[in-house]
Amino acid sequence: MSFYTLAKARYSCRSLSDRPVPKETVDRIIAAGMAAPTACNYQPFRIWVMESAEALAKIKSCTKQKFVLPAPVVFVIGACPEEGWVREFDSRNFAAVDASIAATHMMLQIQDLGLGTTWIGHFDVKAAKEKFPDMADCDLIAMFAVGWPAEDAAPAVLHDKTKEASEIVRRL
C-alpha cells in the first residue's frame, strides 16, 4: 500500500488479542526503528522488548491502561541525551526527537505488518526504571503494547477528526 494509505489506516488500537507475535515479526519492528534517520546518525535511543512473562508483568504494572494486559509484546523506547546531537545555535539536544522518529517508524511498521498498537505516554517512568535498571539513564518517551487486533478493535470516534489545513499549514 502507499505510504499515505498506511498512515491513514493506522489507528490507536486499544483492543488486542493475546495471540503470540512471531520472533521474526518482532525483529522486523526493531529493524524499522533502527532504520530511522537521526541527527548526524548518532542513534541516541534504546529499544527494550518485553517478551518474557516476567518482563511483561513488570512493565504492564507501570501503567493503568488496561488494554495493554493481553499484549504479548511491549516495547519501551528511550532517548539517551548524553548521546544526542546538540544544535550549536541554541543547545537543543535532539535525542528525544530522534527516539520519537524511531518510535514512529516502529509504529508504522507494526501497522504494515497487520498488528495493532497505541503510543502510550501515560506510564510510570520512575517505576519502569526501578523495575528495569538498564533504563535508568534514558528519557523514556513511549511504550507500545503490541499484538494482533482483537475482533472488536476499531478506531476511536475522533480518529478521523482533524483540523483544517489552514489551521496547521503556513505557506510562505
**pTM (whole model) above 0.85:** yes
The rounded distance, in Å, linking the Cα atoms of 99 and 140 is: 9
Burial 14-46 (b: 16+ CB within 10 A, else e): bebeeeebeeebbeebbebbeebebbeeebbbb
Nearest to 148 by CA among 111, 119, 122: 111
Res. 63 pLDDT band, cuts 50 70 90: very high
For residue 126, which phi and psi values (nearest 5 degrees)?
A: -60, -45
For residue 24, which phi and psi values (nearest 5 degrees)?
A: -60, -35
Q: Does the structure show a pLDDT above 90 at 157?
A: no
The rounded distance, in Å, linking the Cα atoms of 65 and 126 is: 16
Name the residue ranges covered by the structural domains of the chain. 13-150
135-153 pLDDT, tens digit per residue, is 999 999 999 999 999 999 9
Q: Sign of the CA dihedral 130, 54, 139, 133? A: positive
How far from 143 is each of 90, 103, 120, CA to CA, in Å? Answer: 29, 9, 5
What percent of the chain lies above the pLDDT cut of 70? 100
How far from 127 is each of 10, 62, 82, CA to CA, in Å? Answer: 29, 6, 22
Mean pLDDT calculated for residue range 55-61: 97
The overall average pLDDT reported for the chain is 96
Which three cell numbers, joined as nine digits, stand for 50?
518485553
CATH superfamily for domain 13-150: NADH Oxidase (3.40.109.10)
